Amino acid sequence: MSNLSSARRIVGSLITTNDGSVSDRTQRERADVRHKRLLFRCWHRGTQESDLILGPFAQTYLARFDTDQLDRFEALLDCTDPDLFDWIIGGFAPPKEYDHDVMRLLRDFARRRDTTN
């Protein structure tokens, strides 16, 4: 990609509407970048076990999540791999702040994958 086309893309992403709000295009681009960043984090956790649970889960669910669910999922990714593994696979109850719809989806996803493999 040339420097000129890169600059146009950046300038185009900074366009706001007449009322000062961010354009739909910019919001979609930001969401796309966030999804890609989260997907990368899921596949590069540091332990293969976590990668193999979180990567496929993210590929399946990220595009379906609303902003609040993405926030909750991102907070889960800030937890350590051993804690996540215990909460998802080990049968330990997660702390209250992590016991939400996204964690339940993640646990169900991991159980379904376990029974099909």
pLDDT tens sequence across 39-62: 999 999 988 989 999 999 999 999
Instruction: Report, as an integer, the average pLDDT of 78-93.
Output: 93
More confident residue, 91 or 95: 95
**What CA–CA distance (Å, rounded) separates 113 from 110?**
5
Q: What is the DSSP letter of 78?
A: T
| CATH number of the domain located at residue range(s) 33-116 in this protein | 1.10.150.250
pLDDT averaged over every residue in the chain: 85
More confident residue, 24 or 37: 37
Domain boundaries, the chain: 33-116
pTM over 0.85: no
- pLDDT, one tens digit per residue, over 97-116 is 999 999 999 999 999 987 77
Q: Residue 105: which of 57, 42, 44 has the closest Cα?
A: 57
Phi then psi for 48, rounded to 5 degrees? -65, -35
